[in-house]
Chain A
Amino acid sequence: MQVDIKPTEQILARHPARPQFLISVLQDIQLAYRYLPREALERVAQALHVPLARVYGVATFYKTFSLSPRGERELRVCTGTACHIRGAPLVLHELQSRLGIKPGQTTEDLSFSLEAVNCVGACALAPVVMVNDVAHGNVSVTSVRRLLKAPARGAAEPAPPAHDPVRTPDPAVRYATVEDFRRHVAQVKGSELATRRRVLMCCGTGCLAGGAQGVAQAFAEQLDDGKLAELNLVLKRTGCHGFCEKGPLVVLMPRGLFYKNVKPADVPAIIERSIVHDEVIEELLYVEPSTGKPVAGYGEIEFYAQQTRVAMRNIGLMDPASLDDYLLRDGYAALARALSEMTPDGVLTTIEKARLRGRGGGGFDAGRKWRSCRRAEGEARYVIANGDEGDPGAFMDRSIMEGDPHGVLEGMIIGAYALESHQGYIYVRQEYPLAVRHLQQAIEDARARNLLGDDILGSGFSFDIEISRGGGAFVCGESSALMRSVEGKVGEPRAKYVHATDKGLWDQPTVLNNVETWVTVPRIVEQGADWFLGLGTEGSKGTKAFSLVGKVKNTGLVEVEMGTTLRQIIFGPGGGMLDMGDRGRFKAVQTGGPSGGCLPESMLDLAVDFDTLTEAGSMMGSGGMIVMDHSTCMVDVARYFLSFLVDESCGKCVPCREGLFQMYHIVSRICEGQGRPEDLAQIEDLSQSILVGSLCALGKSGPNPVLSTLRYFRHEYEAHINERRCPAGVCKALITYSVVNASCDGCGACLKACASSAILGTPKKGDTFNIDEAKCDRCGACVTVCKRGAIAVA
């Protein structure tokens, strides 16, 4: 079959002919053809002066790329931690049965492709399945049928309005000087944009998955410019409020009226009753789990009231696509101050004084890193924002990039000023298309107003930012691998003996910090180092954003002061455990993603802080916090993390590539009831070598989940090995499903739901139902559909 090479030529024409653009070019080709045709790659090798073997190596390294055509509907089942414990494996299994294909395959008629992918960052709505670019939340084994009918191409977000009726008078504003800027800010703060009432409609990825698009559209249709002016109102699509489970969310400001689970059908009532008549609609109010009472005010809801939002201070309260909205929130004031009143060294000293530690996982002192970079010699200095957020269960960075893109930019520009860097990159993972769009828009808007580019605000300082997209590789969250990826190469880490601050991107001095770290910088410059020092603990200053997911009532984004205890977070904003009953009791909380560990009930009063978490056998990581109850098997969790790491390992070094793989084998055997007495000793011995011998942090911290579960839940491992028993009732080989005939009413729902025809009996004929153990897949479909709880798992 001849491949049309024209799209490839067009894509190549859009990019400079240099090797660093390889990944970006390949991504566009994947989008255009739904795979990477050989002819296209041969042309790319020629055009970018990259050897064909290297192009092929890059194409096969990154998961986004496919060498064979993908289906019209690409179904990506998220297998992130939150989704895993909320039933993703069963959803995947169901899709496999219905489509007749395995993950990684495409149906013969090219209508569907099935992939098991790593965390897409919509954890509060677990289990999540992406159909092309659109996320579908709360998917269950039974709702899969509906999912397969979802449209092939849906807009990932509502189209922006033709024009914002409350735009500032002169769209061609450009700040030649700091005074210009300050004058304009004053103008905006006195304009209608500032004074009108606001309807904040959350349009983060999570709420979109819940149907926020329809809600936003309903508001836009029913309130035209005239009506908006009449009601002194402005409609604002915002970023993720962080309370994803209760989405779609609508908040009316300035009153702060908070409505949850809003549907398009609710919109007329909201307009008529709440906006026009200032009435509260009880049914849409959030009910506080601790009191059982509905709460009307945004500021009174425990989930928000108990947070201290610094990094996330803007998200949900402004339109990320509006630079003016950002100005209303004192955006770019810190930059103006830095450029006009501070020297580069002054800015650096402020960050050093504030003792800001990196929020990406390493917790390294940012000021020290910046200082080393400034001291290093090189032809150019680079500044990078790590937006790769690969930890399954974490989506703080997604919300920040989607909801406050200018915050990230401002932080980077200030940092670049301190470091005398003139080029920055934001590396965004492939799975966050909305974040890429919003960041790109913000960059263009900032450039247009002279907040980015040459001679920023007339200060003489020049700096520009480019977005670099990931290709579906968790290892690219590792800083040296990330830099290789920006250079257009495979994401293989380098030994850290030579620091990136000396030789980083293109072997030049580079500072890489996480998105959350960057967004905190303007706050520190604005309010001073002492303010920041006043928050947090002795060793960890400031606040930290966590994505609290799993078996809690309120899943979402929680930002608290360092030093808050795990108990306070989980039972405070978290609202406590999700399920009632014995199996719903708290069992463990996993922090730090695949590099972290699981902490048991006895450690709930641990104060969250970089060092205390590490001492306890876990780590802060990027902020993922996954709550597990007694329906979770800790050995299965260890296996889950090992399988993730095995999948994401770059494969360069022996201890990680071979060692984690062998560990996965051992733990799998244990889960399958084939554990041996010497297994635990071998795991511990092997872990030590992997810990010290691996090349990068992925390998080095790889054994942590296993070691922490062994430390606190050794009895579970022993039960699996010595008794062939899974106490939590999860490991398929060790459990059986049976019908409790006393409770069964013969409705036959289980029979219909069973994909393996393992249930025998005739509905409504008074038969006793039996499950054929040999055929039973333990998929759990019958348990889900049985209204009598008549299926027992033991």
Chain B
Amino acid sequence: MEQENLFEMTINGRRVKAAPGELLLHVARRAGIAIPTLCDHPAVEPFGSCRLCVVEVTRESWRGWKGIMTACLYPAAEGLVVETDSDRVRHVRRNVLDMLLARCPDSALIQRLAAEYGVTRTSFTVRDNPDLCILCGLCTRVCETAATSAISTVQRGHHREVGTPWGGPPPDCIGCLACAHVCPTGHITFQEQGLTRSIWGREFELQRCGDCGKPLPLTVDQAAFLAQRQELDPSYFARCADCQRKSVAQTMGRIAGWQRLGLVQEGEEVAS
């Protein structure tokens, strides 16, 4: 954090320093204060959809009026006074978790979080045929940032869901699994067996190591996408880590001059 332009603000009664434009969530974390989140992830832009990270904010010029804002999107400012755990904040969080529990009663994550706010059973009507999707949007956002926007949210309102074009296997998916890894509830699943990886109803072939033939943890589509998107030659995505290490060890060995000393012959085996 740059040292210039820092200003002071207050969180939970403590004076902390913050930089212009820094988001409250980060200021709080630096101060060691935990604020619960569901739809936030450092890899993507903040979204503000789960409303769990709400905090109470005020400043002197507001003459006692306190606003409820999501910490993930609200910028720090000089003289800001923030409460991360007030009654109003807890009330909103309790209701949000209660509603999510009605939506996803079987989610261990939601059950745990809801229990922290005193909700062990939802006071609302449980969804028909509930799944584990809390509509945090992390999967679609990470797909947009890190991959190909192969999935998106479909429909709106309480019919909204994360889906694929016409509900079928998404044509643009590259099988990178970023969506599955950021999903907080484990709603998105995938299978990997031998040389195949399947997700979203699509089957992908895993890239194989050019040296040893073992499958790499990337699909063929993913490797091609990365090479193009990250502007790296495709050869960077063609060999497994083991073979890379063996290759460099071989080279280093040679550079060290053992060959001259007769300790290593041309083409000798490298073992780890």
A contacts B: CB pair < 8 Å: yes
Residues of A within 8 A of B (CB): 38, 41, 51-57, 60-61, 67, 473, 475, 490, 494-495, 497-498, 646-655, 657-659, 661-662, 665, 682, 685-686, 688-690, 692-695
Report if B70 contacts A (CB, 8 A). Answer: yes
Residue of A nearest to B122 (CB): A662
For the complex, give the distance between the alpha carbons of A54 and B88 in Å. 37
Are A495 and B156 CB-contacts (below 8 A) given A655-B99, A658-B100, A692-B88? no
Residue of B nearest to A650 (CB): B156
Contact present for B165 and A659 (CB under 8 Å): no
Contact present for A51 and B49 (CB under 8 Å): no
Residues of B within 8 A of A (CB): 47-52, 54, 68-70, 73-75, 88, 91-92, 94-96, 99-100, 102-103, 123-125, 135, 137, 140, 143-144, 148-160, 163-166, 170-172
Are A651 and B135 CB-contacts (below 8 A) given A38-B166, A495-B70, A658-B158? yes
Contact present for B95 and A659 (CB under 8 Å): yes
Closest approach, in angstroms, between the C-beta of B51 and any C-beta of chain A?
A: 5
Residue of B nearest to A649 (CB): B157
Which of the listed residues B92, B150, B159 has the most CB atoms from chain A within 10 Å of its own CB? B92
Contact present for B74 and A662 (CB under 8 Å): no
For the complex, give the distance between the alpha carbons of A665 and B126 in Å. 11
Sample of 17 further A-B pairs with CB below 8 A, known A657-B158, A693-B51: A51-B144, A51-B150, A53-B140, A56-B154, A475-B156, A497-B69, A649-B157, A651-B158, A651-B160, A654-B51, A655-B92, A657-B135, A661-B157, A662-B102, A692-B92, A695-B49, A695-B51
Contact present for A495 and B48 (CB under 8 Å): yes
Residues of A within 8 A of B148 (CB): 51
Are A658 and B102 CB-contacts (below 8 A) given A56-B165, A693-B68? yes
Contact present for B152 and A53 (CB under 8 Å): yes
Which of the listed residues A56, A665, A695 has the most CB atoms from chain B within 10 Å of its own CB? A56
Residues of B within 8 A of A646 (CB): 157-158
Residues of B within 8 A of A53 (CB): 140, 143, 149-152, 164-165, 170, 172
Contact present for B165 and A658 (CB under 8 Å): no
From B73, B92, B163, A495 is in contact (CB under 8 Å) with B73
From A38, A473, A651, B159 is in contact (CB under 8 Å) with A651
For the complex, give the distance between the alpha carbons of A665 and B50 in Å. 21
Are A60 and B95 CB-contacts (below 8 A) given A38-B166, A53-B170, A654-B50? no
From A495, A647, A655, B157 is in contact (CB under 8 Å) with A647
Closest approach, in angstroms, between the C-beta of A26 and any C-beta of chain B?
A: 14
For the complex, give the distance between the alpha carbons of A692 and B57 in Å. 12
Contact present for A662 and B99 (CB under 8 Å): yes
Residues of B within 8 A of A57 (CB): 152-154
A-B contact pairs, 21 of them (CB 8 A): A53-B149, A53-B172, A55-B165, A56-B154, A57-B152, A60-B156, A649-B156, A650-B156, A651-B153, A653-B50, A654-B52, A654-B96, A655-B99, A657-B158, A658-B99, A658-B100, A659-B99, A665-B124, A665-B125, A689-B91, A692-B92
Contact present for B149 and A54 (CB under 8 Å): yes
Closest approach, in angstroms, between the C-beta of B143 and any C-beta of chain A?
A: 8
Residues of A within 8 A of B144 (CB): 51
Residues of B within 8 A of A688 (CB): 91
Contact present for A497 and B75 (CB under 8 Å): yes
For the complex, give the distance between the alpha carbons of A464 and B104 in Å. 49
Main secondary structure of the interface of A (DSSP, over half): helix
Residues of B within 8 A of A54 (CB): 149, 152
Contact present for A51 and B149 (CB under 8 Å): yes
Contact present for B48 and A695 (CB under 8 Å): yes
Closest approach, in angstroms, between the C-beta of A724 and any C-beta of chain B?
A: 20
Which of the listed residues A38, A51, A61, A494 has the most CB atoms from chain B within 10 Å of its own CB? A51
For the complex, give the distance between the alpha carbons of A490 and B49 in Å. 15
Residue of B nearest to A685 (CB): B95
Residue of B nearest to A689 (CB): B95
Residue of B nearest to A61 (CB): B156
For the complex, give the distance between the alpha carbons of A615 and B200 in Å. 51
Residues of B within 8 A of A60 (CB): 154-156
Contact present for B49 and A686 (CB under 8 Å): no
For the complex, give the distance between the alpha carbons of A57 and B157 in Å. 13
From B74, B123, B156, B166, A490 is in contact (CB under 8 Å) with B156
For the complex, give the distance between the alpha carbons of A682 and B95 in Å. 11
Residues of A within 8 A of B157 (CB): 646-651, 657, 661
For the complex, give the distance between the alpha carbons of A649 and B144 in Å. 23
For the complex, give the distance between the alpha carbons of A665 and B127 in Å. 11
Closest approach, in angstroms, between the C-beta of B75 and any C-beta of chain A?
A: 7
For the complex, give the distance between the alpha carbons of A658 and B47 in Å. 17
Residue of A nearest to B97 (CB): A654
Residues of A within 8 A of B155 (CB): 60-61, 651
Residue of B nearest to A67 (CB): B166
Contact present for B49 and A654 (CB under 8 Å): yes
Residues of B within 8 A of A51 (CB): 144, 148-150, 152, 172
For the complex, give the distance between the alpha carbons of A53 and B149 in Å. 6
For the complex, give the distance between the alpha carbons of A704 and B252 in Å. 73
Residues of B within 8 A of A692 (CB): 54, 68, 88, 92
Residues of B within 8 A of A55 (CB): 165
From B95, B124, B153, B164, A693 is in contact (CB under 8 Å) with B95
Residue of A nearest to B123 (CB): A682
For the complex, give the distance between the alpha carbons of A686 and B70 in Å. 18
Residues of B within 8 A of A67 (CB): 166
Residues of A within 8 A of B135 (CB): 651, 654, 657
Contact present for B73 and A693 (CB under 8 Å): no
Residues of A within 8 A of B95 (CB): 655, 659, 685-686, 689-690, 693
Residues of A within 8 A of B123 (CB): 682
For the complex, give the distance between the alpha carbons of A688 and B87 in Å. 12
Contact present for B49 and A693 (CB under 8 Å): no
Residues of B within 8 A of A665 (CB): 124-125
Which of the listed residues A655, A659, A662 has the most CB atoms from chain B within 10 Å of its own CB? A662
For the complex, give the distance between the alpha carbons of A689 and B98 in Å. 11
Closest approach, in angstroms, between the C-beta of A59 and any C-beta of chain B?
A: 9
Are A52 and B165 CB-contacts (below 8 A) given A651-B156, A693-B54? yes
Contact present for A473 and B156 (CB under 8 Å): yes
Closest approach, in angstroms, between the C-beta of A423 and any C-beta of chain B?
A: 26
Residues of B within 8 A of A693 (CB): 51, 54, 68, 92, 95-96
Closest approach, in angstroms, between the C-beta of B62 and any C-beta of chain A?
A: 14
Contact present for A661 and B158 (CB under 8 Å): yes
Residues of A within 8 A of B48 (CB): 494-495, 653, 695
For the complex, give the distance between the alpha carbons of A206 and B153 in Å. 37
For the complex, give the distance between the alpha carbons of A685 and B125 in Å. 16
Residues of B within 8 A of A658 (CB): 99-100, 102-103, 124, 158
Closest approach, in angstroms, between the C-beta of B132 and any C-beta of chain A?
A: 15
Residues of B within 8 A of A473 (CB): 156
For the complex, give the distance between the alpha carbons of A665 and B150 in Å. 34
Contact present for A655 and B165 (CB under 8 Å): no
Closest approach, in angstroms, between the C-beta of B154 and any C-beta of chain A?
A: 5
For the complex, give the distance between the alpha carbons of A467 and B52 in Å. 38
Residue of A nearest to B165 (CB): A56
Which of the listed residues A495, A647, A693 has the most CB atoms from chain B within 10 Å of its own CB? A693
Closest approach, in angstroms, between the C-beta of A706 and any C-beta of chain B?
A: 15
Contact present for A56 and B68 (CB under 8 Å): no
Residues of B within 8 A of A651 (CB): 135, 153, 155-160
For the complex, give the distance between the alpha carbons of A650 and B47 in Å. 14
Residue of B nearest to A41 (CB): B165
Contact present for A652 and B152 (CB under 8 Å): no
Which of the listed residues B70, B148, B156, B172 has the most CB atoms from chain A within 10 Å of its own CB? B156
Closest approach, in angstroms, between the C-beta of B192 and any C-beta of chain A?
A: 23
Residue of B nearest to A688 (CB): B91
Closest approach, in angstroms, between the C-beta of A488 and any C-beta of chain B?
A: 14
For the complex, give the distance between the alpha carbons of A473 and B151 in Å. 22
For the complex, give the distance between the alpha carbons of A41 and B165 in Å. 10
Residues of A within 8 A of B160 (CB): 650-652, 657
Closest approach, in angstroms, between the C-beta of A699 and any C-beta of chain B?
A: 10
Residues of A within 8 A of B153 (CB): 57, 490, 651
Residues of A within 8 A of B102 (CB): 658, 662
